[in-house]
Structure 1
Amino acid sequence: MDTAFIGIGSMGAAMVPNLVAAGHDVGVWNRNPEPARALQGVTVLGSPAEAFQRDVVLTMLADDAAVRSVVVDSGALRSARPGCVHVMMATISPALAAELVALHAEAGVAYVAAPVFGIPAVAAAAKLNIVAAGPAQALATVRPLFDAMGQRVWPLGDDPLRANVAKIAGNMMISLAIEAMSEAVALGESYGLAGADFLDIVTTTLFASPSYQRYGKRIATGAYEAGFKLTLGLKDVDLALDAAAARQVALPAARIVQQRMHAAIDRGMGGKDWSAFGQA
């Protein structure tokens, strides 16, 4: 499939090779062209507008501001080829998602939201979980791309906002899991119970899930140097709280996590893995 991928960060760099391996013709664009040039078997594109001349455009950008700049303000969406399908794989706000739905309709471009659950190592192994929502025909068109990148696609209907909210809510739950483990370890250690021993118990019994196991190891060892940056984790918690406020939904635990993240960033931990906020 004639595909463009916009945004070659750590996730994009892990996802694109699986598309190439599956036989898709992939062009890539990134603000800094060097990461794009480092990928094998792809065409480096000159602009977002060039990307939107392909059959399908996948975007994996950092935040709302980056999406708005690259997709909307650049004019790329307005100049898209007829029949183009745009798949938004980034974690963005429901407010921007709703705006994008309207802008794509005006431009005659099919819009699909398909954020993913997984870290770069999971993406490299083509084991992502992809939550997808949008027009049925567009979803069918891009399904081969999803199958090349993920182990399962979770269809959530025709409203793209559902996929965006699922991703935001899921990331909020991970942040709450980090807070829960950090508090439990603090309690145990105050009575002489080693955090590593306690986390080994609960992450193999009561909470034997990938997120608890992955971040439990970081908390147990204090290894916070690589992973999902705390600043990006705060962005996702902020998105959850903003989305909740728009619908008058209370998220008291998420508010506590937000405060803890701010405290950690104030201590210079913003570039560390987001599980570090539990130590702030």
Structure 2
Amino acid sequence: MGFIGLGVMGRPMAANLAAAGHRLTVYRDSAAAREALGDRARFAGSVAEVVRNSEVVVLMLPDTPDVEAVMRGEDGVLAALRPGALVIDMSSISPSAERALAGEVAAAGGGYLDAPVSGGEVGAREGTLSIMVGGDRAAVDRAAPIFEVLGGRVSHVGAAGAGQVAKVANQIVVGVTIEAVAEALRLAGAAGVDPGAVRDALLGGFASSRVLEVHGERMIKGEFEPGFRIALHRKDLGLAVEASARLDVPLPASGLVHQLMNAAVAAGLGDHDHSALALLPDGRTG
């Protein structure tokens, strides 16, 4: 197996696959990747080297241009793909770009799945990611042993690109909920009530959520190490805003939170965890 993209999410995912006994060739080399993987993986000098040695290639990259460059580059995935190899893109990118890449891989004689994930660094480390998969059933069945290592819940939601649509929907729910939690805790503090006590109370009722549990605690403690960076979540909500215009589907709350994330990036918070949305003064965009 090949694994391309050893960032905050990719490193623990690759480490879990290696620990489960998969023979890995990975790209790219770094001190953090060496620390995570040790001698349990072979480090390649190029994308093409990874792909030539792999029956399955997993991508975990930040954005659409990164995936397109790795796929279509002179020494990229498509140039080196073995007949019958399976490409699994677990990045979060444009659904339309994903559909185009799936067609190009099929034309090159390979299989393709888009399989973006939710659960953040904690889920990646613990192997409990929620995986949203687009592609044909045979390819999903082939990838099952990989997904079993990486995820606690695997959902096949449709054809190529459908996984990315589900991920955009996921990011709408998470982003809007983060802002709701931030506003609730901000209100509690302004009213002279302990935000921690309010969070504990809400966790026992209908307002309870994973966002309130994890990110509410981050907000109260002021601990904003990613996690999942605001800059990346802004990118995902940008996909939602683009889809809103293209499909003529109103997404007013998504648009507002996207503006707030734009403001957060402009304020220098882009590399903070997305729960740092709570740091915007008065929740305003400027």
- Report the TM range for the smaller structure's normalisation: over 0.9
Matched with 2:132 is 131
Tell me, yes or no, if structure 1 residue 154 matches structure 2 residue 155: yes
Tell me the secondary structure at the aligned position of residue 9 of structure 1.
coil
**TM-score normalized with structure 2 length:** 0.91
Q: Which position in structure 1 is the counterpart of 2:25?
A: 27
Q: 1:208 and 2:208 equivalent?
A: yes
Residue deviations 1:124-146 (CA, integer Å, cap 9, x gap) = 22111211121221111111111
Equivalence for 1:264: 264
Partner of residue 222, structure 1 = 222
Using structure 1 for the length normalisation, give the TM-score. 0.92
RMSD: 1.6
1:103-144 CA distances to partner (integer Å, 9 max, x unpaired)?
122222211011111122222221112111212211111111
| Contact 2:121–2:228 (Cα < 8 Å) also in 1 | no
1:27 corresponds to which letter in structure 2?
A: T
Question: Which residue does the alignment assign to 2:242?
Answer: 242
Superposed displacement of residue 16, structure 1: 1.2
Deviation per CA, 1:180-219: give whole Å up to 9, x if none. 1122223333322222221221133223322221111112
Name the % identity: 35
- Tell me if structure 2 keeps the 8 A contact 1:112–1:132: yes
Query: How far apart are the structure 2 equivalents of 1:173 and 1:183?
Result: 15
Tell me the distance in 1 between the aligned counterparts of 2:62 and 2:189.
37
The one-letter code of the counterpart of 1:152 is R
Residue 36 of structure 1 and its aligned partner are, at CA, apart by: 3.9
What residue is the counterpart of 1:37 in the other structure? 34
Superposed, which structure 2 residues align to 1:3-152 within 5 Å? Answer: 3-30=1-28, 32-38=29-35, 39-40=37-38, 41-53=40-52, 54-74=54-74, 75-152=76-153
Q: Could you list the runs of 5+ residues in structure 2 that have no partner in the other structure?
A: 281-286
1:25 to partner: Cα distance? 1.1
CA contact (8 A) 1:93 1:243 kept: no
Cα separation, 1, equivalents of 2:22 and 2:234:
35
Kept after mapping to 1: 8 A contact 2:168/2:240: yes
2: CA distance, partners of 1:251 / 1:55: 40
CA distance in 2, matches of 1:143, 1:256: 37
2:169 match: 169
Question: Structure 1 residue 33: deviation in Å?
Answer: 4.1
**Contact 1:36/1:44 (8 A) holds in 2:** no
